Amino acid sequence: MARERLQILLAHERASIGSDLVSVLREEILAVIAKHVQVDRDKVQVKMDRDKDVSMLEIDVEIPRDAALQAA
């Protein structure tokens, strides 16, 4: 019983660390992108998925057509 509670507590702790990490990564990624292209901060999504063996970071940035042409 105590072991199960510990596992639940650890899973919850890992999830909260992941959400903090995603927030930090989102801000840092936005700062780097802003050096090159102006984007709407509301059009950037960062998501972290975790599996048993691997974590995956997914980043979706909507870049305005005009900005994409200027960067090319």
3-state secondary structure of 55: strand
CB count within 10 Å of CB 46 equals 19
- Triad 10, 15, 21: Cα angle to 5°: 125
Q: Please report whether residue 72 resides in a domain.
A: no
What is the CATH number for 28? Answer: 3.30.1070.10
Q: Please report whether residue 22 resides in a domain.
A: yes
Tens-digit pLDDT profile for residues 28-59: 888 888 888 888 888 888 887 777 777 788 88
Q: Please report whether residue 26 resides in a domain.
A: yes
Q: Please report whether residue 41 resides in a domain.
A: yes
CA 64 to CA 69: how far, in whole Å?
9
> The pTM is what?
0.57
Q: Which domain holds residue 45?
A: 4-63
- Triad 42, 46, 52: Cα angle to 5°: 160
Q: Kindly state the average pLDDT of the residues 65-70.
A: 68
Q: Please report whether residue 58 resides in a domain.
A: yes
